[in-house]
Amino acid sequence: MELLEEEFPSARLIVYKVCEQGCYDIDVLSAFDHAIADGVDIISLSMGYPDGSLELTSDPFAIGSFHATEKGILTVNAAGNTGPDFSSIQNYAPWILTVAASDIDRKFVDKLLLKNDATLVVSIYVLSS
């Protein structure tokens, strides 16, 4: 946490409780409206319709994130936790940055330049069960 405080002194985290005893479209859209009104820079959510079956024009996550994008707010959303297939996603609107985990058999290596001009070699390994 110290690093975050030093690097981003004006950063703050706002958490919105969106769903309680069910999750309705109006709750999702209201949360987006509050986040936009509060002037957030990024909206990060891990929600979506389980099967991704809604059209963009009726999906509250797509609609809310579109309004956020119009205000310059990036929406980052989980691709999904379930779906009909391993390759299916729930949040596919082109204005949403959709992120997901994957399982590959590769190793990525890169160099990270630190503040003191030191270089650190960084490796990302994929762990399989």
pLDDT-based confidence at residue 119 (cuts at 50, 70, 90):
confident
- Report whether 96 contacts 87 (CB < 8 A): no
Say what percent of the chain tops pLDDT 90: 24
Q: Please report, for the domain that includes residue 45, its CATH number.
A: 3.40.50
Asked whether residue 120 is domain-assigned, the answer is no
Q: Give the domain extent around 88.
A: 2-100
pLDDT of residue 118: 81
Q: Dump pLDDT digits (tens) for 74-104.
A: 999 887 766 556 666 777 789 998 887 766 6
Asked whether residue 56 is domain-assigned, the answer is yes
Q: Is the pLDDT of residue 34 over 60?
A: yes
Considering only residues 8 and 122, tell me which one the structure prediction assigns the higher pLDDT: 122
Asked whether residue 106 is domain-assigned, the answer is no
Asked whether residue 116 is domain-assigned, the answer is no
pLDDT of residue 126: 52
Phi, psi of 64 (to 5 degrees): -60, -40
pLDDT of residue 3: 45
Asked whether residue 66 is domain-assigned, the answer is yes
Asked whether residue 80 is domain-assigned, the answer is yes
Beta-carbon count within 10 A of 61 CB: 24
DSSP H/E element including 5: helix 2-7
Asked whether residue 122 is domain-assigned, the answer is no
- C-alpha 64/C-alpha 113 separation (Å) is 37
* Average pLDDT for 101-126: 71
DSSP 10-68: T---------SSS--HHHHHHHHHHHHHTT-SEEEE----TT--S-TTT-HHHHHHHHH
Say what percent of the chain tops pLDDT 70: 70
pLDDT-based confidence at residue 20 (cuts at 50, 70, 90):
confident
- Total domains in the chain come to 1
Tokens 């936790």 locate to 81
